Amino acid sequence: MNTEQRLAAAELDLVTTVLGAEPCGGVGWFRFWFADQRWEWSEEVARMYGYSATDTDPSTDLLLSHKHPDDREAMAASIATALETGEPICGQHRILDSEGRARDIIVVGDHLADDAGTIIGTCGFFVDITETIAGERNDAISEVLPELIENRAVIEQAKGALVLAYGISPDQAFRVLSWRSQETNTKLRDLAVQFVDEFRRLRGQNTATRSRVDHIVLTAHRLVPHD
């Protein structure tokens, strides 16, 4: 099984886990490959934009052209950040489909890695929340999405702490987190949680200096609980 086949199987498993085994028209997968800025999307995502998967090729320009004018700049910045830092694309966006109808979409993204573990893009799934999804599927989404979004939120908190501590940019802060995650073989989300917890312990202490922050950056992975 090659990398693309493996990823497709993993994405199917993810959607099945969240929504159950039966197909759901309001959810579909996507992939964005950094090297050639190539997009792939499922039939379900194509339909959200008013297309079929066979009559159009997704691209950054096409996706941005369908973004609500008020959300287009934020989405363009998210894609640019992903290309520069490898950070996944995620968030809530409004789109206008090919008929001009407005839709609310949640994008849940993660790193796309090859068989060697190198980050080569971002992947995940789109959830159309324009209409309420009834029954158990709606319950499953309500339970799972907050956790996924929370994972991203704690990473943003850790980035913010590093920005304040070091006077660096958010992109540079993410590189620090990624570096420590890779160097210590610790999941990025778990490391971010520990960073935030340790930074909070510094409140009101005279020891909240650059050296203490350095210590947290270099040792937080040792405090992450392991299964």
Q: Which amino acid is at 157?
A: Q
What is the pLDDT at residue 40? 92
Does the pTM exceed 0.75? no
> Long-range CB contacts (< 8 A, 24+ apart) of 148-153?
148/90, 148/108, 149/90, 149/108, 151/189, 152/88, 152/90
What is the pLDDT at residue 147? 55
Which has more pLDDT, 201 or 100? 100
pLDDT in tens, 74-91: 889 889 988 988 888 877
User: Is the distance from CB of 120 to CB of 86 less than 8 angstroms?
Assistant: no
Q: Strands of 38-41's sheet, edge to edge?
A: 38-41, 27-33, 119-128, 102-113, 91-96
Q: Which amino acid is at 204?
A: G
Distance (Å, whole) CA 64 – CA 71: 9
Three-state secondary structure call for residue 96: strand
Which has more pLDDT, 34 or 132? 34
CB 56: neighbour CB atoms within 10 A?
Answer: 14
Distance (Å, whole) CA 184 – CA 56: 42
What is the pLDDT at residue 81? 86
pLDDT in tens, 112-171: 888 888 889 988 888 787 764 344 445 555 555 555 555 677 788 888 777 776 667 777
Question: From the CA atom positions of the chain, what is the Rg in Å?
Answer: 19
What is the pLDDT at residue 227? 63
Q: Which amino acid is at 60?
A: T
Neighbouring residues of 179: CB distance < 8 A, sequence distance ≥ 6: none
Neighbouring residues of 106: CB distance < 8 A, sequence distance ≥ 6: 91, 92, 126, 127, 129, 145
What is the pLDDT at residue 37? 94
Mean pLDDT of 103-120: 84
Which of 6-15, 31-40, 55-64, 186-195 comes out lowest in average pLDDT? 6-15
Mean pLDDT of 38-45: 91
Which of 80-84, 101-105, 144-148, 178-182 comes out lowest in average pLDDT? 144-148
Q: Go through 177-199 and write b for each residue having 16 or more CB atoms within 10 A of its CB, e for each that does not.
A: bbebbeeeebebbbbbbbbbebb
Distance (Å, whole) CA 69 – CA 75: 10
Mean pLDDT of 57-83: 90
What is the pLDDT at residue 62? 95
Distance (Å, whole) CA 20 – CA 87: 28
Which of 22-26, 68-72, 119-123 comes out lowest in average pLDDT? 22-26
Flag whether pLDDT at 173 surpasses 60.
Answer: yes
Q: 28 - beta bridge partners?
A: 126
What is the pLDDT at residue 130? 77
**Tokens 């937080």 sit on residue:** 220
**Tokens 């085994």 sit on residue:** 21
pLDDT in tens, 185-221: 888 888 888 888 877 776 555 434 545 655 666 677 7
